[in-house]
Amino acid sequence: MNEYNFNINQIPNVLTLGIQGENQTRTFNFDCSKWLEEYPDGIVNLLIKQPTQNYIYLANTSYDNGILTFIPTSSDLNYCGTGRAEIRLSQASQVLKSVQFKVQIIPSITGVDYDLPEAYEDAIQQLIEASETFETDLTQMQGQIGQNALNIQALQQADTKNVKSTLNFNVDGALILALGDKKNVKESTLKESDIKALAKSLEVSIDTTDYKITFVLKDTLGNVLSTQVIDLPLESVVVNGSYDSTTQSIILTLDNGNTITIPVGSLISGLASETYVNNAVATKLSKITTTTTYVQAYVKNADGTQSMIDLSSSIVANSIMIRDANGNVSVATPTNDNHATPKSYVDSNLPTIIRG
């Protein structure tokens, strides 16, 4: 295993991590001790953005005595080309120190990340690398070859004082990529037939009658390369519902207009209707919780209604007579032959009855 040592402040602008697909063949040691002298509680991490990828991830590293060690695995070397890396010193979620540099991954003979024809794999890679040093004039390219122009965008701002790369289309529509100065020009060519095979657009449409989504992949000339249809079962979604009292069934209406009938007669048999309950409650006497002079009882009147009546051991009109603590009851002075009499009435009238 090859080992490389760098001072954190002297990392080269471009660092070659290895060959595409290699696994743990190189060790990179970054001396961060100067940073840690200033921030002894800081944490050092390595962030990597692999070539041609849009995401950034935290690399698997180890740290010991001020040295950050990174051993690239095959996952780190999955895509060939030029990517970016950054070493950060953070503390309490705040970045205190950082250094950025480019990382280079050398293409393997077989490659592991492209499904492109072998005839123009290398040319595509050179195109990516060349775009880092100049900005292509898209308008001029499209004027030369019309619809065959590739939509190429530079990854960095062009250095107009030191441009040693050129990009042109020849009269046959083939893409010629020249790298280097005029004295030593190397060319790679993409034929027009290869350009046509490149996927350019993906059209997506949905049919609201059957909810089928259609994906159409087209090349640079608008020719269909492949078609995929996905059928979503949305037409079977319930959009409405009702109850049929005649058949005692629940009716569900689907989005496509079809209906589903669910009989529920056996479930509701014997259940009281709202009308029945309301009528029954209306004739019932509400529970009384307020304070009254006498004890009261619930009674049913002759007409079938309900009411409250007093209970008393005293002489109270229209009350139910109850015994007092001594077991006695009290009645009023009689006014009719069939009325009960109190003891006082009997005592006062008994001598008259005897004399008579």
Residues 126 and 191 in one domain: yes
Burial of 39 (0-12, 13-18, 19+ CB in 10 A): middle
Q: What is the pLDDT of residue 26?
A: 95
Q: Give residue 221's Cα distance to chain centre.
A: 37
- Rounded to an integer, what distance in angstroms lies between the CA atom of residue 5 and that of residue 31? 8
Last residue of a domain, one of 79, 106, 133: 106
Q: pLDDT 10s digit of each residue in the chain, 356 long?
A: 789 999 999 999 999 999 998 999 999 999 999 999 999 989 999 999 999 988 899 999 998 999 999 999 999 999 999 999 999 999 888 899 999 999 999 998 765 444 444 434 454 454 445 444 433 433 444 344 343 333 333 333 333 334 333 333 333 333 333 333 444 434 444 455 555 555 567 788 888 777 788 888 887 677 888 888 888 776 677 888 898 888 888 998 887 788 889 888 877 777 878 888 888 887 777 777 888 888 888 888 888 888 889 999 888 888 899 998 998 989 899 989 898 888 888 888 877 655 55
Residues 212 and 167 in one domain: no
- Rounded to an integer, what distance in angstroms lies between the CA atom of residue 71 and that of residue 222? 45
Residues 19 and 62 in one domain: yes
- Rounded to an integer, what distance in angstroms lies between the CA atom of residue 280 and that of residue 253? 36
Residues 125 and 170 in one domain: yes
Nearest alpha carbon to residue 293 among 270, 273, 316, 272: 316
Residues 19 and 102 in one domain: yes
Task: Print the domain residue range for 260.
Answer: 236-268
CATH number (domain holding residue 7) = 2.60.40.3350
Number of structural domains (the chain) is 5
Residues 74 and 18 in one domain: yes
φ/ψ (deg, to 5) at 126: -65, -35
Residues 245 and 220 in one domain: no
Q: What is the pLDDT of residue 188?
A: 43
Q: What is the pLDDT of residue 200?
A: 65
